[in-house]
Amino acid sequence: MPETTTIKLSFCTGNPHKVAEVQAAFAQKLPGYVIEQQKIPLQELQADTLEEIAIFKLQSISQHLRPPFFIEDAGFFVDDVLRGFPGVYSHYVMDTLGCEGILKLLGDSSNRKAHFEAVIALMDNDNIIHTFKGVNQGTVSLEARGTSGFGFDPVFISDDTPGKTFAEIGMDAKNRISHRSRALEKLIEFYRR
């Protein structure tokens, strides 16, 4: 019988839905890896990029947990007209202004270019940091539409699914093309090498 090894990877997040998504992806594409949720209260830095924030978090986690462990963070960026806003502050802006705030800020602007971005940051067994970025390009819709998903999904139309917002295409379709799934794909690729 061939020897089977199990490798444990800690995913530091408070969100059980993200854990389930990552576990399902590993189970399908790279069996033998066990994803364990770790709930560690994390401080978030104010910085320009998701990567900077993620690296700061990894370093603070390393005081409490043995690697390998990873985190995931995402943001919604309205590229030209709002100069990347809300970007790394998407959670805060969702809580204060919501989708309606984004629509008001854009008004009837014809340039509605936007993207979602996710960064997975990993500290490996040798305490080396790796980051994996996933992006989905698209535009801001003229009004909020759809009920699935969360966050800015109702006002984002991916270039991959023209005419429908992320909240209208359903979770399964979204999970196949989302920024998060693309970052996750790169993490799995890293461990497959």
Q: Is 127 in the site for its own copies (CB under 8 A)?
A: no
Part of the chain binding its own copies (CB under 8 A), chosen from 2-10, 15-23, 31-39, 86-94: 86-94
Q: Is 83 in the site for its own copies (CB under 8 A)?
A: yes
Number of C-beta neighbours around residue 5 at 10 A = 6
73 is catalytic: yes
72-88 in b/e form (b: 16+ CB < 10 A) is bbbbbbbbebbebbbbb
Q: Is 45 in the site for its own copies (CB under 8 A)?
A: yes
63 phi, psi to nearest 5 deg: -80, -10
| Alpha carbons within 13 A on the beta-carbon side of 147 | 0
Part of the chain binding its own copies (CB under 8 A), chosen from 26-34, 92-100, 110-118, 150-158: 92-100
- Nearest to its own copies of 92, 150 (CB atom): 92
**Whether residue 68 has a cis bond before it, omega within 30° of 0:** yes
**117 near 97, Cβ under 8 Å?**
no
Q: Is 40 in the site for its own copies (CB under 8 A)?
A: no
**183 near 117, Cβ under 8 Å?**
no
Part of the chain binding its own copies (CB under 8 A), chosen from 8-16, 101-109, 118-126, 163-171: 101-109
Among 104, 143, 150, 159, the residue binding its own copies under the rule CB under 8 A is 104
In whole angstroms, give the CA distance from residue 166 to residue 120. 21
Among 6, 28, 43, 63, the residue binding its own copies under the rule CB under 8 A is 43
Q: Residues with catalytic annotation?
A: 73
Q: In the complex, which residues of this chain contact its own copies (CB under 8 A)?
A: 43-46, 53, 56, 82-85, 87, 89, 92-93, 95-97, 101, 104-105, 107
